[in-house]
Amino acid sequence: MKVRKWWKRMVILDLLLAGLLFLRTCQGYEESLQASVQYDQENREQTQDSVPTDQSQSGGKLVALTFDDGPDPRYTEKLLDGLKERGVKATFFVTGANASKYPEIVKRIQEEGHLIGNHTYHHIQLTAANGEQFRNEIVSTNEVIREITGEDTEYIRPPYGSWNKKYEEELNMFPVLWSIDPRDWCSDDADCIVRNTVSKIKEGDIILMHDQYKSSVIAALEIVDRLQKDGYVFVTVEELLLD
Ligand SMILES: [Zn+2]
């Protein structure tokens, strides 16, 4: 009897000790978890401090202006002047044909920090029947861009938005479509183009425009002026997509 009682007490004592140890372990685990979360947060804050992004510098909402079909000898440089004055970076999807005709403008686009993308050589639309030609147009335009800038481009705006995912891996190209189309190509009314854009704009939008119309250049700079006042920051599509 005595032995059984003693044995019972030992079991109860053991259980109590085990319980206490368990509680201490849990507490220790929570403390170390809290410490690691805090460490992560501090680390993140330090990283953010050391690598400021455009957004953190300005607290702005990022949007991207894109210009297709150029470069154009009449208007692209006027647009570049206006963008420079306003500290804006944009993206230019050039055709191979125009880039090879006006390489000095392509070079200036690059030198002023804008992003250059591919818009096929002759502005062709991908169809079920012309896959091989479409592919060759992308490759030849990439070659023209590389010859002028010394750099490869990974971005393509497929004319009319027609695309096949197989080219992404095959050619290492990333398609960039758009979220706002003010249809600047069918109106010479700059005010109308501005209204069509600013009335719809939201953070993260990609605006589709064309730099071979005077009205588009006037409208684009007016869009920048209005949206900058509202806290928008204009970046290249690469910066927008990586954000
Ligand atoms: Zn186009």
Name the fold adopted by 54-242: TIM Barrel (3.20.20)
Residue with tokens 């096949």: 164
How many angstroms is it from 127 CA to the middle of ligand 1? 15
95, 121 contact by CB (below 8 A): yes
Label residue 85 exposed, middle or buried (CB < 10 Å: 0-12, 13-18, 19+): exposed
Structure confidence at residue 58 (pLDDT): 53
13-65, pLDDT tens digit by residue?
454 444 444 444 433 333 333 333 333 333 333 333 333 344 444 568 999 99
| Res 7 pLDDT > 80 | no
How many angstroms is it from 132 CA to the middle of ligand 1? 19
The catalytic residue positions are: 68, 210
Structure confidence at residue 141 (pLDDT): 98
Residues having C-beta closer than 5 Å to ion ligand 1: 68-69, 159
206-229, pLDDT tens digit by residue?
999 999 999 999 999 999 999 999
Structure confidence at residue 14 (pLDDT): 52
Question: What pTM was computed for the model?
Answer: 0.77
Structure confidence at residue 50 (pLDDT): 32
End-to-end CA distance of the chain: 75
Q: Which residues of 7-33 are buried (b: 16+ CB within 10 A; e: fewer)?
A: eeeeeeeeeeeeeeeeeeeeeeeeeee
Separation in Å, CA 203 to CA 63, 93, 162, 231, 240: 6, 22, 25, 10, 10
Can you tell me the mean pLDDT for 108-129? 98
Can you tell me the mean pLDDT for 62-89? 98
Q: How confident is the model at residue 127 (pLDDT cuts 50, 70, 90)?
A: very high
The ranges assigned to domains in the chain are 1-50, 54-242
How many angstroms is it from 84 CA to the middle of ligand 1? 24
How many angstroms is it from 68 CA to the middle of ligand 1? 5
- Amino acid, single-letter form, for residue 97: A
Can you tell me the mean pLDDT for 120-129? 97
Beta carbons within 10 angstroms of residue 196's beta carbon: 19
